[in-house]
Structure 1
Amino acid sequence: MLLPHLPSSWAALTFIAVLLVPSSLSATPPNPAAFENSAVVRSIELGGATTQITTSYTVRSLQNKNGVYVFALSKDDASKTSWMEAKLKGSNTPLELKRSTDTDEPIAFYELSFPKALKNNETATLVLTTIQAHASEPLPATVRQNEPQALAYETGVYVLSPYDTVIQRIKFKSPSPDIVSFIDTSELSKFAEPDNKPAVKSGSTVTYGPFRNIRGSATPLFVKDEQQLVGVHYMYDNTVITVPELRRSAEISHWGSNLNIEDKVWLKNDGAKLKGHFARIEHLRQQVQPQTAQPHVLKDVVFDLPANVRDPYYYDTIGNVSTSRFRPATTRKVAGKKSSPLERLSSLELRPRYPLLGGWNYTFTLGYDMPLEDWASYDAAQGAYIVAVPFLTAIPGAAYDDVEVKVVLPEAASIVEVQPPFDTDIEYQTHYTFLDTVGRPTIIFKSKNLTDKHAGLIYITYKVDVRAHLEKPLAVAAGFLGLFLVATAFRRVDLRIHTNKKKQA
């Protein structure tokens, strides 16, 4: 069984997703004369806890052998950005992307390497996709139990770039046409066309621009003097889900041929907080009349689990929760081989003990077992095992503030290589459990500010020799043998008090 999405070469694996963590970087400023932006279009998909932004850059090389293009984000946008990916338009292969400035700089620069350097006057279209966490805020901040919810999003109207831009526009796409308001100011007319309005609403889309002939804008002076904040106030009829903490434990057992996953989840509805008191009668009325229920109240959570999951369990601080529904799926065979367990997904629907209104929290534990053969393989050339462990189970649209994943390997295993799906902090420990003698190597991954895009696979290569496989059964056998010897010795020892019959006579 091949591992799901196992890379053909470990050395060739390149991490494309960018995780923004504090670092100390120094780089030369980008050359503004290297490129010209013929057209820049930014599309912002407004959401709840996460916001997806897609920016298309049509660039023209002004020099020969131009191999590096530089993107720019403001400090505020960079601090909110959790995930980033860049591609050539029409290609599915992400390009290498790395941050080249420190996190405390007013402008964040990201260097993109072209697969092939551009010639003079050669053009290319780049697509930069970013996901921001906690970028939208409830407005108003509190609502009553039977009132709808609205969110507000703000950002700079001009797309920052170290290069001159011929034309650019920015689009806000709301989940529904019900837009409460949007910022429309005449101060945007400096770069706007004289006969056009700077901002236009059409259905569920608000468009700012086009703006023409913008000089290199990735400077603190431009941000201070020219950049203008614009935003959209929109109705949001979904739950704003945040996971403040997630603690995952993955334990690998060769003797049981099992991969056990256990998640301790802190769940929060980050939408508009409840104004006043919770009314149980109103809640029951909404259950009887679903058309009156507010969709921003979290009533259940659906997890898409891999195929062949077995023995799922779900409990909270009170005890076992029976309000859950599990729909298992199995892998199928293709040409006599099993398919990936991620091709067909099992569904686990969890219903908390109470509805989660805005600002409410719920803590629970979710666990399940999976066949180890679906996630591990043996490399005879290295004499090592390669196992894939899911980093997290994604909740669509959720923001993860703090995630810790602990992978427990078999006892006495030796770690050869660790490949996380993105850059993350790694710690190594030793875990002891029942009948262990030398303990189990444990790898702990710690990350912050994640989204469902980070639900990748951790690949771990490790070796377990024959002695390690036999260590536990030998330890158990030695324990039972010692117990039998002690019992035999006690049976042979006579502890009764005997009297001397000759002396009595």
Structure 2
Amino acid sequence: MMPAMAKTRFSFIFFVYIIVKCNGVTVDTISSDLKLKNVDRNIDISSQLVKITSKITLENTGRAPVKNFLYAAESVTKDNLAFVGFKDNNNKDLRVVETSVKGYDDVKFWRVELKEAVNAASTVVVTAETVLTKALLPYPTAITQQEDQLVKYNGNLYFFSPYYVASQKTTVIVNTKSVESFTKVKPYSQQDGTISYGAYSNIGPFTEKELSIHYKNNSPFLTVTRIERLIEVSHWGNIAVEETIEIEHTGAKLKGPFSRYDYQQDHHSGPASVRSYKTLLPASAADVYYRDTNGNISTSNMKVKKDSVELDLRPRYPLFGGWRTHYTLGYNVPSYEYLYHSGNEYLLKMRVIDHIFDDMQVDELVTKIILPEGSTNIKLNIPYPVSRLPDNLHYTYLDTKGRPVVSFTKRNVVENHIQDFQLRYTFPRLLMLQEPLLVVGFLYMLFLCVIIYVRLDFSIHKAEHPHKD
């Protein structure tokens, strides 16, 4: 028989195993057979986002083929990390799965699945792309109308990895010569808006060293604090899209009064403010409207291009640090470009979110899809993790049971998330006759009531007719 202590230990391990399996958590180990032969890293901090592209040469020093490897993010950046993606030498996307490693609770890990296994003593080159939001902090935090905006970037001088790195270089793109200060670790060089570090050799796993750069950055620091995207599908040839957008300037706050006269007279006044920005809509977008709580905003232009519709949106007032605006943008697109069907089975394929402005960052996205009344067997597929909201019903004219609404939300969204979702559902085509029959029935009853009213006499007493002599 099993001793009591062994039974307790076995029960505990089994309990932990059940918890891990039920929560869908994967646990990996760090292979000692892998090392990074070379890493060439570019850090672009010229906009409000931090875009890091790393070309990694992975080497298998073991005897068995390797099919995957781990990518890690240090505790300083893991909360700001909005997007992680990998491509192989043929520019094909690699599958990335979030995972964990026992003993490294403060580190965020992803397992990258390679297209082909790396044999012993062989190498493979992959490219990692990461985007960080709110990693650039205004310093000072408040400026006057005439001052430039200075920001500070704090990162890791070395490529953070669970593997040994034989050689690495880092190039930081600031796109300005106005650099107040930066970390100086030899060898380094500064030239034409870039700062280069390395090559550094023989860097151990999980090595961190502060990289700090203080520089001028007047690019638009706009944050969409919340966007609610409503997509209404009609089988009569149209899909209506409406977005309710809340935007805040999250750069250095305006210190002192705002002078409209100076702002209009001096083109260099308010260098960190935002006068306008460009939004890109699908090429087939029509009936575009742009309004806020006061009504239509006429200070905007629309340009129809070959592959998109470009909107030059200009708010009612310029946006300085700490200022906000709220508006609604809507348009229609033909359903045949996004809705496919075979019999009673339908497939809707549209973007999760559209381009709002260059280098956009979105705190919260809520997308709602209103399907035709009578839709069933709804299945949603999105290329990255989102939080699914409870389904509900939406009622409009000529509805009897209500139209099903599929909703989901996602936080920390950037341009890399402009990807298509797929929504499959079943809709009996005979139900398309429901609305016309309701209209015909209503008109029939209306005319019938008129005929009855005209033909019959509903008076209480009959009218007296004059007697004839």
Pick the TM interval, shorter chain.
Answer: 0.7 to 0.9
Which of 358, 361, 369 pairs up with 1:396? 358
Corresponding residue for 2:373? 411
Q: Does structure 1 conserve the Cα–Cα contact (< 8 Å) formed by 2:43 and 2:52?
A: yes
- Counterparts of 2:191 and 2:303 in 1: how far apart (Å)? 41
CA 1:386–1:108: 2 relative to 1, 3 Å: same
Which of 271, 292, 317 pairs up with 1:354? 317
Which of 326, 330, 335 pairs up with 1:367? 330
The residue correspondences of 1:311-322 to structure 2 (distance < 5 A) are 311-322=287-298
Corresponding residue for 1:122? 122
Q: Deviations over 1:232-264 (max 9, x none)?
A: 112113211110000111111122x11111111
RMSD: 2.2
Amino acid paired to 1:390? R
- Counterparts of 2:463 and 2:66 in 1: how far apart (Å)? 106
Corresponding residue for 1:475? 438
- The reply to whether residue 494 of structure 1 matches residue 458 of structure 2 is yes
Q: Does structure 1 conserve the Cα–Cα contact (< 8 Å) formed by 2:30 and 2:101?
A: no
Deviation at 1:387, TM superposition (A): 2.1
- Counterparts of 2:222 and 2:419 in 1: how far apart (Å)? 20
Corresponding residue for 1:136? 136
Deviation at 1:181, TM superposition (A): 1.2
Q: Flag the structure with more relative contact order, 1 or 2, with Cα contacts below 8 A and sequence separation at least 6.
A: 1
Corresponding residue for 2:417? 454
- Counterparts of 2:379 and 2:98 in 1: how far apart (Å)? 25
CA 1:102–1:468: 2 relative to 1, 3 Å: farther
Deviation at 1:405, TM superposition (A): 0.9
- 475-484 or 124-133, which deviates more: 475-484
Which of 279, 289, 295 pairs up with 2:259? 279
Q: Does structure 1 conserve the Cα–Cα contact (< 8 Å) formed by 2:42 and 2:52?
A: yes
Amino acid paired to 2:58? V
- The reply to whether residue 270 of structure 1 matches residue 218 of structure 2 is no
- Counterparts of 2:272 and 2:238 in 1: how far apart (Å)? 38
Deviation at 1:102, TM superposition (A): 8.5
Deviation at 1:296, TM superposition (A): 2.3
Amino acid paired to 1:315? R
Q: Does structure 1 conserve the Cα–Cα contact (< 8 Å) formed by 2:222 and 2:360?
A: yes
Structure 2: unaligned runs, 5 residues or longer: 1-22
Deviation at 1:490, TM superposition (A): 4.1
Corresponding residue for 1:207? 196
Which of 277, 281, 287 pairs up with 1:301? 277
Q: Secondary structure at the match of 1:75?
A: coil
Q: Does structure 2 conserve the Cα–Cα contact (< 8 Å) formed by 1:268 and 1:362?
A: yes
Using the aligned pairs only, state the percent identity: 25
Deviation at 1:322, TM superposition (A): 1.0
The residue correspondences of 1:32-431 to structure 2 (distance < 5 A) are 33-63=32-62, 64-88=64-88, 90-101=89-100, 105-184=105-184, 197-217=186-206, 227-255=208-236, 257-286=237-266, 290=267, 292-329=268-305, 344-380=307-343, 383-394=344-355, 395-427=357-389, 428-431=391-394
- Counterparts of 1:68 and 1:464 in 2: how far apart (Å)? 42
- Counterparts of 2:38 and 2:313 in 1: how far apart (Å)? 46
- Counterparts of 2:101 and 2:262 in 1: how far apart (Å)? 51
- Counterparts of 2:286 and 2:134 in 1: how far apart (Å)? 35
Q: Does structure 2 conserve the Cα–Cα contact (< 8 Å) formed by 1:50 and 1:451?
A: no
Q: Secondary structure at the match of 2:27?
A: coil
Q: Does structure 2 conserve the Cα–Cα contact (< 8 Å) formed by 1:49 and 1:242?
A: no
Q: Secondary structure at the match of 2:78?
A: helix
Q: Does structure 1 conserve the Cα–Cα contact (< 8 Å) formed by 2:175 and 2:192?
A: no
Q: Deviations over 1:314-372 (max 9, x none)?
A: 11011111111112246xxxxxxxxxxxxx11111111111111111110001111111
Structure 1: unaligned runs, 5 residues or longer: 1-22, 189-196, 331-343
Q: Secondary structure at the match of 1:77?
A: coil
Amino acid paired to 2:301? R
Amino acid paired to 1:228? K
Corresponding residue for 1:18? none
Deviation at 1:284, TM superposition (A): 1.8
Deviation at 1:489, TM superposition (A): 4.2
- Counterparts of 2:315 and 2:250 in 1: how far apart (Å)? 16
- Counterparts of 2:46 and 2:209 in 1: how far apart (Å)? 22
Amino acid paired to 2:140? P
Q: Deviations over 1:29-87 (max 9, x none)?
A: 312x1211111222110033311101122121012211111111112212211111111
* TM-score normalized with structure 1 length: 0.82
- Counterparts of 1:92 and 1:430 in 2: how far apart (Å)? 42
- The reply to whether residue 484 of structure 1 matches residue 447 of structure 2 is yes
- Counterparts of 1:24 and 1:410 in 2: how far apart (Å)? 34
- Counterparts of 2:65 and 2:52 in 1: how far apart (Å)? 30
Q: Secondary structure at the match of 1:100?
A: strand
Q: Does structure 2 conserve the Cα–Cα contact (< 8 Å) formed by 1:181 and 1:232?
A: yes
CA 1:69–1:28: 2 relative to 1, 3 Å: closer
Q: Does structure 1 conserve the Cα–Cα contact (< 8 Å) formed by 2:145 and 2:269?
A: no
- Counterparts of 1:93 and 1:209 in 2: how far apart (Å)? 29
